[in-house]
Chain A
Amino acid sequence: MAPHKNTAAIATYGDHEVIKPENKLRKVVSDTPFVPGEDDPVARAERALAELSGEFGSMMDEECDRLDKERRAVLAQGFTMANKERLFHAAHDIKGQAATFGYPAVAAAADSLCRLIEYTPDATRIPARLVDQHVDAVRAIYREYSRNDAQDLASMLTVRLREVTDEFLIRENRNRPDILEQITGGPSIVPE
């Protein structure tokens, strides 16, 4: 495939250049307003996603099975660099995808497990029981999602998990003030 040729306007200053590349994508933009009744692309994409939603349950099954498999590996071998990373990624993927799959309450428990792994300086000190409790919580919240009180139970469970995790992390990071600040830090700065 032939490469694009870039043309750019460059202004040079003492310590930097300001470059305005040719905006080759401008040609795909128009200001023509959407007419009433016309399908807007966001609605169309949401519909396409809704059509896929029949498969979200099996996708979530796979992600929970993967988390369970990585938990078993950690419990069998102890934490190693490789299995720690795989367990983190499995939890991290659930944290990021649970809401899209229709199970937002699962994300908080997975997030707590991510924090536990990410902020513990020596993973071998993480109690196996705490890993177990997180993975079991993720799976239980997902499994019981159709219950009327599922949201309340999930909330109670994850609040407690988070408390126990924070106590552990604060203890393990007592000599790392920058990490302590991140653990107890402010909310995300990313816009919705």
Chain B
Amino acid sequence: MVRIDFNRLRFLVIDDNAHMRRILRTLLHGFGAREVYEAEDGAAGLEAFTHYIPDIIITDWAMPIFDGLELAQMIRQPGANANPYVAIIMLTGHSEKKRVTAARDAGVTEFLAKPISAKGLYQRIVNVVANPRPFIKTKTYFGPDRRRNPNPNYVGPERRKGGKADTIRQTALLEKVRAPG
């Protein structure tokens, strides 16, 4: 298990449900975190993000004023705030494919379906801390690379959603094996 020094991490929990905020705070303090800030809607969450500059945001999807998806889109604006690269973990009761895809396309780093577990939350935190993905910027997207498992055998145009294709020749694994030397 990867060891994380939680007391050096600053968390922001955004959820309109006070019980869920308490559960999250309890888990994070249990992990060893000291700095856990809270907000009860998207607008307060954005304000807290600007003020506290957290390392990791854990947000609900469905919230008043603006929701977790809109919040993620507002944060993923390069140059518009102090840390557009901040890790965003979306914690929600929605787990349908279209929801997960929408969260991914809004720039969410990790998705965690309720009911929450200590293990599930810990794994998501380890992922964002120890294995961060590069960010991709196109005309229509700014956020973590949506390709979690690049195919080393892929040969063809390097395409990104929302832009003109740019051909980048990638060597197939088979060709690498056959290549002399």
A96 touches B2 (CB 8 A): no
Interface of A is mostly: mixed
Verify if A159 is at the interface (C-beta below 8 Å from B): no
User: Could you say which residues of chain A place their CB within 8 Å of the CB of B154?
Assistant: none
How many A-B residue pairs have C-beta atoms within 8 angstroms? Tell me. Answer: 176
Contact B132 A23 (CB under 8 A): yes
How long is the Cα–Cα vector from A96 to B23 in the complex, in angstroms? 12
| Residues on A with beta carbons closer than 8 Å to the beta carbon of B5 | 28-30
CB < 8 Å neighbour of B17 from A18, A93, A99: A93
A16, A21, A34: the one within 8 Å of B1 (CB)? A34
Which residues between 49 and 77 of chain A lie within 8 Å of chain B, taking CB atoms?
A: 49, 52, 59, 62-63
Number of chain B interface residues as a range: 35 or more
Residue of B nearest to A178 (CB): B98
In the complex, chain B residues whose CB is within 8 Å of the CB of A25? 9, 55, 87, 128-129, 132
Chain A interface extent, by class: 35 or more
> Is the CB–CB distance between A97 and B115 below 8 Å?
yes
Among all A-B residue pairs, the 6 with the closest Cβ atoms:
A15-B163, A14-B166, A45-B30, A96-B114, A3-B82, A48-B30
Q: A-contacting residues of B (Cβ < 8 Å)?
A: 1-6, 8-9, 16-17, 19-20, 22-23, 26-32, 51-53, 55, 62, 82-85, 87, 92-93, 95-98, 100, 111-116, 118-122, 128-130, 132, 134-139, 145, 158-160, 162-166, 168
Could you name 9 residue pairs across A and B whose Cβ atoms are closer than 8 Å?
A13-B166, A18-B145, A26-B129, A31-B3, A45-B31, A89-B16, A96-B93, A189-B95, A189-B100
